[in-house]
Each structure stands twice: as structure tokens, then as C-alpha cells.
Amino acid sequence: MIEEADYVVCGGGSAGCVMAARLSEDPDKRVVLLEIGDANDRLLVDVPAGLQMVVANQETNWMYFTEPDATQNDRRVFWSAGRGLGGGSAINGMVYIRGTTYDYDHWSKELGCTGWSWDEVLPYFKKSEDFDGEDGPSHGKGGPLGVSQLRAMHPLAYSFMDACKEVGMGEVEDYCAGDIDGTFVNHATQRNGKRCSAAEGFLKPAMSRPNLQVITGAMVDKILFESNRAVGVRFTYNGKSRDIRVNGEVILSSGTIQTPPLLMRSGVGPGAHLQERGIDVVAAREQVGKNLHEHPSLPNSRLVYEPTYNVRNNPLILAREGLKYLFTRRGWLATAAVHAMAHVRSDPDLQYPDIKYQMLPFWADANAKGYFGADNPVPDSAKNFGITIGVNLMTPNSRGQILLQDTDPASRPMIDYRIYEDPADLERMRKGLKFANTIFEAPALAPHIKATAFPPDPHQSDEEWDNQLRACSATGLHPVGTCRMGNDPEAVVDTQLRVNGVDGVRIADCSIIPLLPSANTNAPAIMIGERCADFVHGNRR
């Protein structure tokens, strides 16, 4: 096993795969990627419809739980995070979306992230992309990441979009160009009907390079410092502690949840918290682990007359779809989770949308059954066709933090997040859910609706909505912000993603995001990896 490298990348998620692939393009630099999970080289990852099974697998999903959340009836809320090469890109819903011009211009102009405006990040989105649609100024061709038009489109997605237009929304011609104010069919991170994770797109083609070593099953413990300069990484492999010396830089790509604990175990973080855990402080950085935020999420679902993807227990249909996928890479097995999207304002006076709708051609009753208990009035989703408008709040005000349980790298971090700490977030979610009723009742969609699903009474009182939000809300699976980027003294990383207070360490993952973009976070994570690789190439020591 290699004992010395120029660059060590800690974490093989979306941005980590990008970093390892891009840095190893220089044959004179030795690159090591350390990932605790496995290669994720399995059929259920490749086949898009395998999503539900890989999300429920502890080998591919960390399956975190938060600390009890007082704003959600003291529930410990489930949080997904990808485990293994590709990270979240190997288990996500494959939605490809970047956000808006406003998101990144706001980072640059208002949040001190100079160099991160829309015009400056767009080339990096395009650099990574291999789009299978028509050429255009907002898309890239020939990049490592397959981005595809949906190969299996449920007809009710078009009805959803028509209904959105009937209630006053516009149709967005190219949502990748920085405008999402309206409704559109989304693209997916697929290539030829198969999932294209960051591992598949970026890392796999680079694996044969002699200067790149990928070590799976490696649990990273800490960065090794001499004074405040990173000189190595300590990790556990096959039960033994090992050190690798780093001549260039350490890149942390362990994600929003795991990157802060890795920094803290290394002595970089809130001083008092580290001292309480018996950790010598290398650099007191109080904002490490802070600024955690997520998209609150709750479904609004209906039963429909047409067959949808939550009922697939007919063996003849399954056989037909299996053969269709085998020979054409189309059909149900090629489907993505989300088939269309829309964005609205919870308050008409807002300049930009703050509510995201995702149209899913299926529905699930697990949360609903748990809420209603023995007197459950919710129909069985295994026997009743349905569709869902998944409602996300794109711009939450509430913030949380990540803390260490102890110094053991195998311990789960403490996720302390009160999703509705700001009551305005609860109110805006309620408004978004109620407006979804209007879409279901619009002329284009109403004839397809057979009955209610969840909630049983979609026209319930505000108090009942709030009770369900507190009892059933999940997250959008898009945590960000725990190693915030900026140019202020409290920022964890500077605008070239260098960790402030130490030398030789950068962060490339969604923890650096100062404020959630109006988007799912896989495409932004890959863009961050592309930018960080360029920063490293331009600042070699």
C-alpha cells in the first residue's frame, strides 16, 4: 500500500470522485482516494428503478438519525447519506438541476464568495456534462457525467405540468440556463438508461492510471499536522491504523455530515468543544459544524385511475418491463424518481420562488401509517395507484450543527437540527402544501384523480397541517453548509476552498455551500469538485 502521495482525497462521494479523477490527470502527481464504503459496483445501483432498494441498504446508505427535534415532537429524523464510491450520486433520485442565476450571484455579491457567480460557475457545470439532448449554450457535450432526457416519462407528468400552467405558472424552456421560475420536465444523471454516478462517470475511467490508488474500506481518522501544516492522513484499513504522508494537499470530500467531524478530530473546530473531547486544538474555528441547513419536505398525494410505479406486483408486467429494459434500456426500470418539477412563491410579493414541487409517478404510505396509527384511514400504497407532489422549502431560515459524540472515527456524529426552529419555515411549508391542492384540482389533472391518499383530508385546518408537518416531515436529502465558504474571518474555507487557520487542506463537498441553492445538490457538488480541482492545479506547491 502506498505510503506517500501528493494529494489524498478523503471521501469518495460526488465531489471526491471528481477530485480524484481530475487531479490524477497529471501523471506526475500521485493521488490516493480513501473511502470507507465499497465500490458500489452492483446491479441495483446501475438500474434506475433499483433506487428504493439501495436507499434501504446499510452498505450503500449511512442511515443517520438526528438528535431529538423539539420542533418535530422530539422525533429522531432519518437522514440519508451515500456510502461507497459515488456517495449520494449512487443512491439518489438522479435529478439533474443546478439552481438559479440568483443563487450563485447572491453567493458572490452578498455572501462574500467572490468568483462564484452564475457566469463563473456555469462553465464548470458544462465541463462535467455529457448531455444527450440538443446542443445549446447552457449544456456541455462529452464530459464525464451522463445527463439525459427521461427515457420513461409517465403521462401524468404532462398533466401535472398542464395543471401548473392552468394555475398561473409559466413553462420553463431550459431550466439549466439559470431560470426555474415555472414548470418543466427535469433531466436525470443517466447514460443510455443506466445511472451515471460520479464514480461511474469520473472515477471508473481513471482507475487504470498508475498514479491513482483508490482504497475502499478505509476509515479516515484524522489529518496529521506539523504545526498548522497538513503532512499526512491517518486511517484504519483491515483493522490496522495506517499513516500516509502528503507532500501536497489533503482534500476533504466526506460530505456535509462527515467532513466537520473529520476536521474536529484533527484539531480544527470549535475550541471548547474539542477540549471537552480531549482533542488538542490546532486551529480554533468556531464555525466548523455550524450553519447546517436542509430542505424540509412533505408529500401531498392522490390516488389515480392510471397505473403508476408504486404498484408493480404483477409478474407479467414485471417480466415485460425486465425484457424491455434488457433490450432497449427503456420502460419502468429506466425511470427516475422525479418526472417533472415546478417552483412557486409562498408569498406573491417574493422576488423569487421559495417552494419546489417534484412530481413523482408513485406514492408511499409509510410515514402516513405511522402518523395515524391503528385508526389509519390511508389506503395501502402497495395496492392503490397514486401520484405525489413532493413539497420542499428551498430557502429555510432554520439552522443546526454537527458535533462529535467522541473521538472514535467509527462513532456517528451528532446531527442537531431543529427543522422548524424558525416558525416562518413551518408556515411557508403549509402554504406550499395547500397550493398543491390547487394543482390537483386544476382541469388538466382533476379527471385523473380517484381519491385522496395523504393527507386523507387535503383541505384540513392549518392546525392539522402543522401537526402533520411536525410529525411527518422529512428532509430533501440535501444537507449543506457545515464548513461555510466566505471571505469573512469566521468562514471555514476561503473562496478557493482552503481551510482557514491551517495550510495544505481544502474541502470539496456540499459542506462549503454558504446558502442552499434552489436545487437538489448533486450537480452543485460535482461543480464544486471541478472548481476545487482547478484551484489545486493553479496553486501547486
Sequence spans of domains, the chain: 1-95+198-293+402-419+477-541, 151-185+296-395+421-472
What is residue 319's predicted lDDT score, i.e. its pLDDT? 85
Residue-wise pLDDT tens digits, 115-166: 999 999 999 999 999 999 999 999 999 999 999 999 989 999 999 999 999 9
When pLDDT is averaged across residues 376-393 and rounded to a whole number, the result is: 92
Count of C-beta atoms within a 10 Å radius of residue 447: 9
For helices 14-23 and 522-538, the axis angle rounded to 10 degrees is 30
Q: Which residues contact 319 (CB under 8 A, 6 or more apart)?
A: none
Residue-wise pLDDT tens digits, 399-423: 999 999 999 999 999 999 999 999 9
Read off the amino acid at residue 401.
Answer: Q
Distance (Å, whole) CA 162 – CA 439:
9
pLDDT band for 191, please (50, 70, 90 cuts): very high
What is residue 366's predicted lDDT score, i.e. its pLDDT? 79
What is residue 148's predicted lDDT score, i.e. its pLDDT? 96
What is residue 318's predicted lDDT score, i.e. its pLDDT? 79
Q: Which residues contact 190 (CB under 8 A, 6 or more apart)?
A: 48, 94, 146, 147, 148, 151, 196, 334, 336
- Reduced to 3 states (helix: H, G, I; strand: E, B; else coil), residue 231 is strand
Active-site entry in 106, 154, 343, 478: 478
pLDDT of residue 42 exceeding 60: yes
Distance (Å, whole) CA 387 – CA 475:
19
What is residue 313's predicted lDDT score, i.e. its pLDDT? 67
pLDDT of residue 539 exceeding 70: no
What is residue 378's predicted lDDT score, i.e. its pLDDT? 87
Residue-wise pLDDT tens digits, 493-513: 999 999 999 999 999 999 999
What is residue 540's predicted lDDT score, i.e. its pLDDT? 42
pLDDT band for 376, please (50, 70, 90 cuts): confident
Active site residue 478: yes
What is residue 49's predicted lDDT score, i.e. its pLDDT? 87
Q: Which fold has domain 151-185+296-395+421-472?
A: Cholesterol Oxidase; domain 2 (3.30.410)
Q: How many CA atoms lie within 13 A of 266 on its CB side?
A: 33
Residue count (the chain):
541
When pLDDT is averaged across residues 75-81 and rounded to a whole number, the result is: 94
Distance (Å, whole) CA 248 – CA 504:
7
Q: In this structure, are residues 354 and 265 in contact, taking their beta carbons and an 8 Å threshold?
A: no
Given 3.40.30.10, 1.10.260.40, 3.30.428.10, 3.50.50.60, which CATH number is that of 1-95+198-293+402-419+477-541? Answer: 3.50.50.60
DSSP β-ladder status, 64-65 and 414-416: unpaired
Q: What is the mean pLDDT of the chain?
A: 95
Between residues 364 and 359, the one the model is more confident about: 359
What is residue 412's predicted lDDT score, i.e. its pLDDT? 96
